[in-house]
Amino acid sequence: MAELRALLEDELGFAGVRTLGQSGNVAFAASRTAEAKLVERLEAAVDARFGVPARVMVRTRAQLAAVVAGDPFGAAELDPASYLVGFCDVPPGLLGLDAGALAPERVAVDERTLYLWLPDGTQRSPLMKALSRLDGGVAMTTRNWRTVTGLLELAGR
């Protein structure tokens, strides 16, 4: 994570670079740059520095706050390790997924976000298996609820 912070701060010139644990999640201050340009710049820098072609998802502090505020399942009543947020690069829709057939698991969609309640975890989750088979050109990375709220804290609410 120290190398990632150095890349963003020293080489790319971002201010206030902070990381969350060993997760690859980073908060930083950037000028008002178009998201696509910022993503392209970050992906190229990570690939050049670490030799890893990583997909990067960028969210502003306001967008993260909206994700937390938009919680459709009442996170306070759920195990944060079993409640995931899928951050997508484009609006995901449900791409033909039959959410009702996946009970007790639940899924909700909001713009470029999937909220995933997986009470039995991710390993044998029918919902995660179904999402992995969808071919809609949507890139997604998931974070558990604890990480999402930690990122919002890191971004300074």
Q: What's the mean pLDDT in 93-105?
A: 76
Is the confidence at residue 136, as pLDDT, over 80?
no
Look up residue 32 and give its two tokens: 């008002």
Residue 98: pLDDT band with limits 50, 70, 90: confident
Cα angle 69, 70, 76; round to 5? 65
Nearest to 39 by CA among 16, 60, 63: 60
Nearest to 40 by CA among 24, 21, 53, 31: 53
| Cα 86 to Cα 2, 18, 90, 129, distances in angstroms | 26, 21, 11, 14
Name the residue with higher pLDDT: 130 or 72: 72
Q: What is the CA radius of gyration of the chain?
A: 16
Is the confidence at residue 6, as pLDDT, over 60?
yes
Residue 96: pLDDT band with limits 50, 70, 90: low
Is the confidence at residue 134, as pLDDT, over 80?
no
pLDDT digits over 64-73, tens only? 999 999 999 9
| Cα 2 to Cα 18, 74, 135, distances in angstroms | 10, 35, 35
Q: List all residues 6 or more positions away from 62 whose beta carbon is below 8 Å from its beta carbon.
A: none
pLDDT digits over 14-30, tens only? 999 999 988 789 999 98
Look up residue 10 and give its two tokens: 């020293």
Q: What are phi and psi of 29, to 5 degrees?
A: -100, 135
Look up residue 13 and give its two tokens: 């010139």
| Average pLDDT taken over every residue of the chain | 89
Give the distance from CA 112 to its chain's centroid: 10
Residue 135: pLDDT band with limits 50, 70, 90: low
pLDDT of residue 48: 96
pLDDT of residue 75: 86
